Amino acid sequence: MEDMGQPHSHTGEPGGALPPGQRTQRGWPVTHYGPVPRFRPERWEFRVFGATADGGVRSWTHDEFGALPYETVVADLHCVTKFSMPGSEWGGVRAATLLALVPPAPGVTHVMAWAEYGYSANLRLADFQDPSAVLATHRDGELLTAEHGFPLRLVVPGLYAWKGPKWLRGVEYMTADRRGFWEERGYHNIGDPWREQRYSYQEEPGEGPEL
Ligand SMILES: Nc1nc2c(c(=O)[nH]1)N[C@H]1C(S)=C(S)[C@@H](COP(=O)(O)O)O[C@H]1N2
Ligand SMILES: [Mo]
């Protein structure tokens, strides 16, 4: 059956069927580009900037961020290199909570998630707003380890995992789409695993800015 105009990605049933071409892997592999940053609490801040409704920048220290409402989401993680990790409980601040705390300007269509060392991933606002998207501090009740993104990582279960930067430091509200780190380097601008949107050459007109 044709999938008619589903507005944004779906997350599947945690621990249910996997997206096409994925297989599960035992344990929790570590996958990233570049070194693991050292966490310096006194220098760490989390910022929301760009096209906010009031034009301002909002920032939180590590303690302040830790005081935001904590919620959990159970979801699978799908890496574009074809392994999936089923059924983790991600704990942290829902992206939707952040959007409620710092409303975007009316013209915002996308966000850029920014991490240490300039790693970035662009997301459609609808995908970021999805109730399954979490700015995670914990997995299965335990604090994230350094190699898995401590103190904060984005988890967007409806998209391939590169869309969830580890060592997250900010979110930029954007009124037009712009490619992030992997999206500029051959990966699909949207990255929906259920549609197997792995590479930029698969993009249909309108699915991403010109390369
Ligand atoms: N900052 C940063 N975040 C990143 C990456 C990266 O290279 N840098 N890689 C992504 C990719 S491709 C995957 S599959 C997941 C892996 O998360 P894990 O190492 O906790 O399994 O992190 C994502 N987040
Ligand atoms: Mo990945």
29 in ligand 1 pocket by Cβ < 6 Å? yes
Q: Domain of 92: which CATH number? A: 3.90.420.10
Q: Which atom of ligand 1 is nearest to the CA of 119?
A: 1
Q: Find, among 187, 178, 164, 191, the residue nearest to 110 by Cα.
A: 178
Number of structural domains, the chain?
1
Q: Let me know if residue 85 belongs to a domain.
A: yes
Residue 162 Cα to ligand 1 midpoint, Å, equals: 5
161 in ligand 1 pocket by Cβ < 6 Å? yes
Q: Let me know if residue 47 belongs to a domain.
A: yes
pLDDT at 7 over 80: no
Q: Let me know if residue 72 belongs to a domain.
A: yes
User: Can you give the residue range of the structural domain that contains 143?
Assistant: 40-179
Q: Let me know if residue 202 belongs to a domain.
A: no
pLDDT at 94 over 90: yes
Q: Let me know if residue 32 belongs to a domain.
A: no
Distance in angstroms between the alpha carbons of the first and the last residue of the chain = 32
Query: Residues with Cβ within 5 Å of ion ligand 2?
Result: 31, 79, 161-162
pLDDT at 167 over 60: yes
Of 32, 142, 167, the residue with max ligand 1 atoms within 8 A of its CB, to mutate for a pocket test, comes to 32
Q: Let me know if residue 101 belongs to a domain.
A: yes
* % residues pLDDT > 90 (the chain): 90
Q: Whose CA is nearest to atom 9 of ligand 1?
A: 32
Least confident of 25-34, 155-164, 166-175: 25-34
Q: Let me know if residue 186 belongs to a domain.
A: no
The pTM of this model reads 0.94
pLDDT at 3 over 60: no
Q: Let me know if residue 133 belongs to a domain.
A: yes
Average pLDDT (122-136) is 98
Confidence grade of residue 4 (pLDDT, cut at 50, 70, 90): very low
- Contact (Cβ atoms closer than 8 angstroms) between residue 111 and residue 168: no
Confidence grade of residue 11 (pLDDT, cut at 50, 70, 90): confident
Cis peptide before 151 (omega within 30 of 0): yes
